[in-house]
Amino acid sequence: MDKILEGLVSSSHPLPLKRVIVRRVVESAETPLSQAQCRAMFALSTRLVLQGPDPFQRQVGRQVLEAYGRYHRAEFEAFFNRGLVLGLLQRGYGELSNRDPAILDYIQAGLRLIMSCPSVLELFELLQVEALRLVCERPAPPLCARLCQLLGDFPQCLPRGRKLSLAFCQQLVRSIAHFQSQGSREAELRLYVSQVTQVSGLLRSVWKAEPDTLLPSLQELFAVISAADTSFEPSVALASLVQHIPLQMITVLIRSLTTDPNVKDASMTQALCRMIDWLSWPLAQHVETWVIALLKGLAAVQKFTILIDVTLLKIELVFNRLWFPLVRPGALAVLSHMLLSFQHSPEAFHLIVPHVVSLVHSFKRDGLPSSTAFLMQLTELIHCMMYHYSGFPELYEPILEAVKDMPKPTEEKIKLILSQSAWTSQSSSLPSCLSRLSGKSETGKTGLINLGNTCYMNSVIQALFMATDFRRHVLSLNLNGCNSLMRKLQHLFAFLAHTQREAYAPRIFFEASRPPWFTPRSQQDCSEYLRFLLDRLHEEERTLKALSSTKTSESIMNEESQKQEAVHKAQVFAEAPCMGSEERTLIEKMFGGKLKTTICCLNCKSMSQKEEAFTDLSLAFCPPTSLENVGPKCVERSEVKDDYVVQTNTSATSPAGETLLNNLEVNGGCDTIMNEGTIKDFSTEPNSENTTNSELNKVQDNRDMSQRLVGKNTLSVTDLLNYFLAPEILSGDNKYYCEKCASLQNAEKTMQIIEEPEYLILTLLRFSYDPKCHIRRKILDNVSLPLVLELPVKRATSSLAVVSGGWSVGVEISDIGENLAKKLKPSGADEVTCPQLLPYVLSSVVVHSGVSSESGHYYSYARNVTGSGPSGLCHQSTALSLVSPQDKLLTEESPCTVVENELDTEMPREWFLFNDSRVTFTSFQSVQKITSRFPKDTAYVLFYKKQNSTCGFNTNSANGLWVNGDPPLQKDLMDAITKDNKLYLQEQELSARTQALQAASASCSFRPNGFDDNDPPGSCGPTGGGGGGGFSTVGRLVF
């Protein structure tokens, strides 16, 4: 029969005829045959299966083998023995190689026929050994897939025992690493993918049946992809294994990898790069999940060098994967994480910027719902990056044009995304110190390191930084090549806005801005420092403007003309206070206002007026009634003549000895922080024969007002400002010398704000001189802070123009000089005024904690306030009315009641507490209640922002891409910040590695980085912002 069949299949008869005859031969398998005949049929069918020249012969061989093996099982069992199978696996069959998949096809068919025979167990044992040998020989994808199919159908052939099973899994992983596709056509690629899927599916089955093999298999996988051998590149087919790793193991595995001291940086970098390459593998699931988890794990242990290198190496490859729909979801997830976390430098983002527009256009052309969804995600990502790295309009404008039709995320959403994505915000559950080493607080704000008794500077700088319009002006200045104090302030503001450090050390700025009389490392007055700083900035800018106006002609001037120019410069400096609004300095524009002081003789009604510039107002506390008769209301002069000048206090003067911007104290308070004397009891003085009863009644009304203020339980800033603007009677030893009367007369002095500042700075004079003990004591009275107040401003509307920058018309032009004589000429008639209530919103509060000016601690509360008000809220309806002193000195409604109503509309997390290095969220309620809860902590300096004003500052840049609305930084500043951010990441990494080495023998606990309202915000420690303090702390010296 075997001869007939062999001749038939090789004959030239028609194929249909051959099929009929073959069917007859297969049917005859049921007839009894001798052992020799069966063996001959088995040998022929084996030869046809393995060596058949065409598909027909191979099909005939399989049919005959299956039919005769089923009906003659004993004979087939004897034929299909250990020797045959071993020979096929080790030597092949004839010319057929032992690595041909057809060998395994034949063995699998034979196993099916003898499954019920005892000898099959022997074959299973054989195949267990041979399967391990095969995978160790790194079979090609077709053979390996065929082997895995056989082992999947006959799991009894899998290597048994933990050692062999583990070795099989590890070698199979390495075999996959050697896989390479043999073609590039779609059909070939599909076949290749299916073969890889078959192999990875077998590993999944083994891992599921024997869980102990999973972790060693993954260790082998990491060893393969982390190898530094450049001659061998592991196949991306390894990506097919990722989907079979339980996601529950992410935490354990990533922690093991990132903390293993045996894993070198180069190995981790190589492994991560190759994992990112896996994004190219189609059908692979969860690759992006593991890649992102490893990126986060490395960030959590501060291995930033690896993250930087990998991001710069692979960001373009990941972006290019977005062109392929099959792998686009995973690629976009990894791209988003890599870009959003790479916040110390624009380098990574700028690598992909040139390719964004073409990809956007491609998505739009597709018109598919999936493409549109991906485009929206990509647009949001791009907006976040352009927001964070503004200042490159030439790069971003084409992108903005391409995505102009797509929705733009809100600024709040962008801030949230960026704050959650930074490397330094990645949390770590590792029980060691490295879990709290890095990152800004959740506020996204940067603290200032206390350099040794510098909390007075830190609190002021944070308040100025949070003055949004001022900060934007400073950052927008072009100061290249200038080593001025303003340049240093710009540098400091830029770092506060963009550094990744939790706290920044302002050493350079401190040395440049410290007043010469301030003893290093000792307690100082923050108000005095603020005045000195603003005056320095103002004088410096004025000087630079004067120099720049004369510099252009210096190169061609001879010696004589240079002398003339020197004279001209002196004239320029002398005339500087008369500059028009367009020539005003930045300090004048932001903080400068004008106050008009009027003295009216109560005898002849003649008036003298003077205008004076100010940058802050110092508000004295209303005096206690027990001191009413001690002396006049803070007027030092015993004789006030026609050249009367309002007492002022300034911390610095210009080189010429003149002072432009003054701190106006209440009614001429003599010392920066002194509050001496009270309103003189005018009724006890002998009346002037020309003094009318109406004036006396007016004086008595003012005195009653003072007593009512004192009688209130809690004063408000409104009360103190009303007291500041209240009329004052000059009598007794303080009578006014009237030129018209040619004698000392009782007079009334009033002050009016005639030009309001953009930022109103109010200093509460809390330190008073105790004549008994000869020390300055602190007034610990609680003061209610209105969230919104209205400032009465009276602008002159008469046709009489105010000349020479501040003096009344009665002053002769010739009187203006170095002395300006501080003269006031009688005006003879009242000017027509238009009282106007201008709303101001509270921006910052600097708090002093302590009982004296020589000790304690400063910290500040602040929020972002723009010209239109915080969070777009309108406070007009609930504003505290600060009425004109001449009309009504006290409002009927309690300020506290109004403020409580305002609290209902406060936006959550709008306020920040800046305590040296620490920055935390807080609330306006905490600001209001700080003194009632902690009696030694009192508001000292207040910043109010004028509502509905933009200070003439255009906050809409050409490209609309300003970080926090701030202007883009100049290149040198951005480069400096980028360099420092990279240095900071390296410092964090080094610190983390050092602590990791000590983690086994040391533990670390951390105080929560938050502000607990049950504890005072605290005093400084050697490193600043340490918390603590409390009532039992004596002195609370600043460190």
140's CB contacts (< 8 A; 6+ apart) are 99, 179
DSSP conformational letter for 837: E
Q: On the CB side of 564, how many CA atoms lie within 13 Å of its CA?
A: 7
Per DSSP bridges, beta strands 662-665 and 607-619 are parallel
**Token pair of 674, please?**
């002194």
3-state secondary structure (DSSP) of residue 787: coil
Give the Cα separation of 533 and 514 in Å (integer): 8
Give the Cα separation of 566 and 573 in Å (integer): 11
> Active-site residue among 600, 857, 875, 1020?
857
Give the Cα separation of 518 and 454 in Å (integer): 11
212: Cα separation from own chain's centroid:
43
Q: On the CB side of 496, how many CA atoms lie within 13 Å of its CA?
A: 29
Alpha-helical runs (H) found in 810-967: 895-903, 924-933
Residue 803 contacts residue 605 (beta carbons within 8 Å): no
Residue 335 contacts residue 319 (beta carbons within 8 Å): yes
> Active-site residue among 38, 144, 384, 455?
455
Active-site annotation holds for 350? no
Phi first, then psi, for residue 610 (nearest 5°) are -145, 140
Residue 789 contacts residue 722 (beta carbons within 8 Å): no
3-state secondary structure (DSSP) of residue 180: coil
Alpha-helical runs (H) found in 642-692: none
Active-site annotation holds for 433? no
Residue 788 contacts residue 879 (beta carbons within 8 Å): yes
809's CB contacts (< 8 A; 6+ apart) are 800, 801, 802, 803, 825, 827
> What are the DSSP E strand ranges found in 355-417?
none
Give the Cα separation of 321 and 316 in Å (integer): 9
3-state secondary structure (DSSP) of residue 952: coil
Give the Cα separation of 197 and 190 in Å (integer): 10
380: Cα separation from own chain's centroid:
17
Residue 361 class from Cβ within 10 Å (0-12 exposed, 13-18 middle, 19+ buried)? exposed
**Token pair of 181, please?**
């596709």
Residue 171 contacts residue 178 (beta carbons within 8 Å): no
Give the Cα separation of 538 and 577 in Å (integer): 11
Distances from the Cα of 239 to the Cα of 245, 284, 568, angstroms: 11, 6, 78
Distances from the Cα of 524 to the Cα of 295, 457, 516, 749, angstroms: 46, 9, 12, 33
Q: Which H helix or E strand runs over 540?
A: helix 526-551
The single residue listed with the structure tokens 């690493």 is: 177
3-state secondary structure (DSSP) of residue 325: coil
Give the Cα separation of 680 and 729 in Å (integer): 8
Residue 590 contacts residue 467 (beta carbons within 8 Å): yes
228's CB contacts (< 8 A; 6+ apart) are 266, 267, 270
The single residue listed with the structure tokens 């896989």 is: 179
**Token pair of 497, please?**
């806005």
3-state secondary structure (DSSP) of residue 769: strand
**Token pair of 694, please?**
């109406």
The number of beta carbons lying within 10 Å of the beta carbon of residue 1027 is 18
Residue 200 amino acid letter: S
Active-site positions read 455, 857
